[in-house]
Structures are given as C-alpha cells and as structure tokens.
Amino acid sequence: MFNIAICDDQTTQLRATAKALDSYIALHPGMEATTKLFDNPKDLLMSLDDNRWSVIILDVCMTGMLGTDAAKEIRSRSGNVPIIFISISGEYAVEAFALNAVHYLLKPFLQEDFNEAMDRALGPFPSKGADKIMLKLKNGILHAVDVDSIMFIESIGYSRLIHTKDRIYEETRKTLGTFMEELEKMRPGLFIQPYRGYIVNMEAIKTIEPRRMLLKSGDTILIKRGDFRKIRDTYFSWSFSEKQ
C-alpha cells in the first residue's frame, strides 16, 4: 500500500496532478495506493505526525511558503521520503536537488515525464495487463479488477457498483459511459447496456426475456422497452461466435 500526498495551492494544477497520478496507477494493476490532496503546505506539514508518506509531490511556488522550505521541514521530520517537485520554472531546481528530490517537473508536464518521476520515487512495477480495469474506491484506494470477473455494473447516485464473481466494489470516479468505453476497448462486444444505468457482461447472462434478463448470479436486469429483439439478437450473435 502506497500513501501519496500532492500539495499545490492552485486547484486546477492540483487536480491535474491527481489525474496524472491516477493514470500512472492505472498502468500498474495490483498496485494499491491512497492519495491525499493538500492546497497549502502548512496542512501537509501537519499531516506528517499522522501519516507515513510513500512519496510527496510538492509544488515549489505557493502562497505563504515555498515548496523547498516545506521540503526542509519534511526532511527534518520524515527523513528520506521521496519528494517530486513541480514548478513553472527551473529557478529552484538546484535547491530542490540539494534536498535530495527524486525529480523536478516543469509545468505543464507530459504524462510520460510524470511516469518517469513516479518510477524513480517508487521503483519499477509490472507493466499494465490488458485484462485489468482500475477502480477508485470510496475510501480512496485504487484497485485493479480483472475485466472478465465483472458480471455487471450498475449506477446508483454518484457511485457505480461493480459486481464481480467474488464481491461488489463501489467506484466513485468514473461514469458509466467511461466504463463502457474502457470495457469495449479491452473486450470488444462482450459488454452491453440493456437498460439505463446498467452494463452487463454477456457471459453472465442466463436467459433473456422480453422485459428482463436473468443472470447466472440470480440478479435480474431490466431491458429497455422496444430493445428486446436487438439485445436478443446481439446476445445470440455473440453466443454463436463464441462457439466457433
């Protein structure tokens, strides 16, 4: 488990860095990490008493305190925790590396540059498998799930419930449309949307009726009125192709 802190007083950049981190973690199935965002260095320093950070991503130019000054305090209290600096200029690069920074990124940075910085901070990980999908769970943990283990996904309020063969995960970041795009890329034609708010793995289907489908798990999914024939034909076509 990795605990990663990001500190930047610019909300837009803070979110951009968090997004880059999510993309990096998505490349490493099985890697579990929690992410904490800070919009000022004082709160980050206060967190040192209660958290053991695996890596800290720190903006240099912040209101009230430079990131390099915050890093000096971090070094005195947390030793050699890996620190990645980000900045709009290279003005503080020499001072940053004097503080044993693992990397110094210039804004706006490319994803591949961010990935390189994280590799230096955390060490090498296995490359992404083609059969994994990344979930951001309600407690902030990022978790990789086998695509083929997903039976169906349902959208409830602001969350998506991912029903797998073993358990149910609550995902709080992705939309149902985003899930469908990712699943279609990894398993073309395997997943369908029989009704608003649902995605179903056709391997999980037991029977299809005019107004509903029954899954092998015992769950029932409604079918959109008027779509029965289209869904039935899609399922039969897929089933036939699987037997070839």
Number of domains making up the chain:
2
Looking at the fold, whether 114 and 9 belong to one and the same domain comes out as yes
94 and 168 in a single domain? The answer is: no
Is residue 86 located within the same domain as residue 178?
no
* pLDDT tens for the chain, residues 1 to 244: 889 999 999 999 999 999 999 998 888 777 788 999 999 999 999 999 888 899 999 999 998 899 999 999 999 998 889 999 999 988 888 899 899 899 999 999 999 889 889 988 887 554 444 477 878 887 667 777 888 899 999 999 889 999 998 899 999 888 999 999 989 988 889 999 999 999 999 999 999 999 999 999 999 999 988 899 999 999 988 887 765 5
| Residue recorded with tokens 């083609």 | 130
Residue 53 resides in a domain: yes
Q: Are residues 93 and 192 in the same domain?
A: no
Pair 176, 227 in one domain? yes
Q: How many CB atoms lie within 10 A of CB 21?
A: 21
Domain-embedded: residue 77: yes
Q: Are residues 153 and 58 in the same domain?
A: no
Q: Which two tokens stand for residue 84?
A: 């990645």
**Single-letter amino acid, residue 210:** P
- Record the tokens describing residue 123, joined without a space: 């060490």
User: What integer pLDDT is reported at residue 177 of this predicted model?
Assistant: 92
Task: Give the C-alpha distances (Å, rounded to integers) separating 105 from 99, 109, 117, 146.
Answer: 15, 6, 8, 33
Residue 45, classed as helix, strand or coil, is helix
pLDDT at 120 (0 to 100): 87
Q: Which of 122, 138, 161 is the last residue of a domain?
A: 122
Where does a domain end: 87, 122, 157?
Answer: 122
pLDDT at 19: 94
Q: Is residue 129 part of a domain?
A: no
Question: Is position 176 within any domain?
Answer: yes
Say if residue 174 is in the same domain as residue 208.
yes
- Assigned domain for 133 exists: no
Which of 14, 43, 19, 104 is CA-nearest to residue 68?
104
Choose among 204, 198, 208: nearest CA to 228: 208
- Report long-range pairs for 236-242 (Cβ below 8 Å, ≥24 apart): 238/189, 238/190, 238/202, 239/202
| Number of alpha carbons in the 13 Å side-chain half-sphere of residue 211 | 0
Final residue belonging to a domain, choices 122, 138, 160: 122
**Cα–Cα distance, 58 to 83 (Å, whole number):** 7
- Residue 130 resides in a domain: no
82 and 156 together in one domain: no
- Supply the range of the domain harboring residue 184: 146-243
- Rounded to 5 degrees, φ, ψ at 222 are -70, 155
Q: Are residues 101 and 172 in the same domain?
A: no
pTM for the model stands at 0.54
pLDDT number for residue 136: 80
Q: What is the DSSP letter of 47?
A: H
Task: Give pLDDT, residue 174.
Answer: 87
**Looking at the domain assignment, is residue 127 inside a domain?**
no
Looking at residue 130, its pLDDT comes to 43
CATH number for 204: 2.40.50.1020
Does an H or E element contain 119, and which? helix 111-122
Q: Tokens representing 200?
A: 């179903």
Task: Output the domain CATH number for residue 48.
Answer: 3.40.50.2300
Q: Answer yes or no: do 7 and 110 share one domain.
A: yes
DSSP string, 40-104: SHHHHHHHTTT---SEEEEESS-TTS-HHHHHHHHHHHHTT--EEEEESSSTTHHHHHHTT-SEE
AA letter at 172: T
Same domain, 24 and 100: yes
Do 183 and 235 have their domain in common? yes
Assigned domain for 33 exists: yes
Q: What are phi and psi of 35, to 5 degrees?
A: -125, 130
Residue that has been written with the tokens 């899609």 in this structure? 234
- Residue 1 has a pLDDT of 80
